[in-house]
Amino acid sequence: MRREATAAPERATRVYRPPWRIDVITRSDVPRIVPIADLARTIASALEAAGAPAPASIGLILTDDAELAKLNATHMGQTSPTDVLSFPLLEPDTYPPHAGRVDRPSCRPATSFRLPPGRRTHLGDVVVSVERAIAQAESGAGGQTGHVAWSAADELRLLVVHGTLHVCGWDHSRLAEETAMRSLELEILARGRRPA
């Protein structure tokens, strides 16, 4: 009798970094190149820097190029894989103003509601291709410019910070905001290298 091979189950981890909860899903067969606790600390630092409302939760999905390519095609109309995608649930004006941001009229109806006591607002989700982070680092095509040679762990941390800032209303379609965003990313990464 022949046995079918089964894929390793995905791993789900919930990390509390008060006042935030970070829900991390690691897809099957995705290598763990940075401890989940370190990624959660990095996300919490980015949420704090962006002035995210609290208490709140955010999701992080660590996956591969194939899943990012599907999401990129479905949600962005692009036919190639990418390294990170963000799915914010709140309007950018929920967050404090930042350098270079241009507020646009909301296309969503104005809502004002309170959550029951003890509930958290979910800010959105960040999906990162660990496969792409490793490849970019190994080829020297990492960093904000695509010309940085550093570790796959540093590349993954950058992608997590970048995606989290997108959830928090940051964009890089305008030069002034891109410059401010890139500077903040480096500041957050530097904070993560200091002992907690």
What confidence tens digit (pLDDT) does each residue in 86-109 have?
Answer: 999 999 888 988 877 666 555 544
Per DSSP, helices labelled H in the chain are 36-50, 65-71, 130-139, 152-167, 175-193
State the burial class of residue 165 (Cβ atoms within 10 Å of its Cβ: 0-12, 13-18, 19+): buried
User: In the chain, where are the structural domains located?
Assistant: 11-93+119-193
The encoded tokens of residue 89 equal 């649930």
The encoded tokens of residue 26 equal 């690691």
The encoded tokens of residue 15 equal 């990390």
- Quote the CA–CA distance of 5 and 12 in Å, as a whole number: 22
Predicted confidence at residue 80, as pLDDT, reads: 83
Residues forming beta bridges with residue 88, ordered by sequence position: 124
- Quote the CA–CA distance of 45 and 186 in Å, as a whole number: 12
Predicted confidence at residue 196, as pLDDT, reads: 47
Torsion region of 146: left, alpha or beta (phi above 0 gives left; psi -120 to 50 gives alpha): left
pTM: 0.87
- Mean pLDDT of all residues in 22-30: 96
In one-letter notation, the amino acid at residue 74 is T
First-residue to last-residue Cα distance in the chain:
53
What number does CATH give the domain 11-93+119-193? 3.40.390.30
Phi, psi angles (nearest 5°) of residue 17: -125, 80
The encoded tokens of residue 114 equal 């309170």
β pairing state of 121-129 and 56-63: parallel
Per DSSP, helices labelled H in 90-174 are 130-139, 152-167
Predicted confidence at residue 5, as pLDDT, reads: 47
Task: Convert the pLDDT of each residue in 116-156 to its tens digit.
Answer: 666 789 999 999 999 999 999 999 888 877 788 889 999 99
- Quote the CA–CA distance of 100 and 175 in Å, as a whole number: 8
Task: Convert the pLDDT of each residue in 40-78 to its tens digit.
Answer: 999 999 999 999 999 999 999 999 999 999 999 999 999
